[in-house]
Amino acid sequence: MTALILIDLQKAIDDPSWGTRDHNLAAEANAARLLGSWRARGWPIFHVCHDSRFTTSTYRPGQPGNDLKPETAALPGETIVPKQTCSAFIGTDLKKLLRDRGCGVLVICGVITNNSVEATVRNAGDLGFEVRLAEDACFTFGRRDWNGVWRTAAEVHALSLANLHGEYCQVTTTDEILA
């Protein structure tokens, strides 16, 4: 059985404090396409929501940013997995939920590519799941590298994908997954 895991697609990610959004602008629409396909087939869906412990976080519970984005919000009966770390597997029952449903293959999408998505994909691969990462249904933001050089969101995204592809997952696209 193949499960869809949507990571941290919450309103918090739209806060300007994250930076300028200039990459994979159709990521939420692609995630919504995946979600629609899974719903139509009755396949397992897991919405992972970050519940930050930091008082200044846009993802902190009780704030509007903690809510799921409307285009990928959970419907009644769909599983929501709250997390407080980068990985959806640390401190949650996600592994058990997946095993109990017989899910050996995971399709993952969400934000931030080089943070929660990468951490979750690494853990999933280490746990023996077969992972497909929908690269066009994920996004990140530009940032400075260790040497202080500005890296665009596209560069950060591409490097994160390169870190994951082959060893932890198969990087693919929404269209390839839906085909």
The ranges assigned to domains in the chain are 2-178
Confidence of residue 140 (pLDDT cuts 50, 70, 90): very high
The residues near 151 (Cβ < 8 Å, ≥ 6 apart) are 142, 143, 144, 145, 159
Position 60 scores a pLDDT of 94
Share above pLDDT 90 across residues of the chain, in percent, rounded to a whole number:
97
pTM: 0.96
- Average pLDDT value for residue range 154-164: 97
Q: How many helices and strands, by DSSP H and E, does the chain display? A: 5, 8
Interval 75-91: pLDDT, tens: 999 999 999 999 999 99
Position 99 scores a pLDDT of 98
Position 20 scores a pLDDT of 83
Position 117 scores a pLDDT of 98
Position 21 scores a pLDDT of 86
Strands (E), 13-147: 45-50, 79-83, 105-111, 130-139, 143-144
Residue 100 in this model has a pLDDT that exceeds 90: yes
The three-state secondary structure class of 46 is strand
Residue 111 in this model has a pLDDT that exceeds 90: yes
Confidence of residue 27 (pLDDT cuts 50, 70, 90): very high
Rounded mean pLDDT of the chain?
97
- Average pLDDT value for residue range 35-64: 96
Distance between alpha carbon 5 and the CA centroid of its chain, in Å? 7
| Rounded Cα distance, 161 and 23, in Å | 14
Per CATH, domain 2-178 is 3.40.50.850: yes
Confidence of residue 156 (pLDDT cuts 50, 70, 90): very high
- Average pLDDT value for residue range 88-100: 98
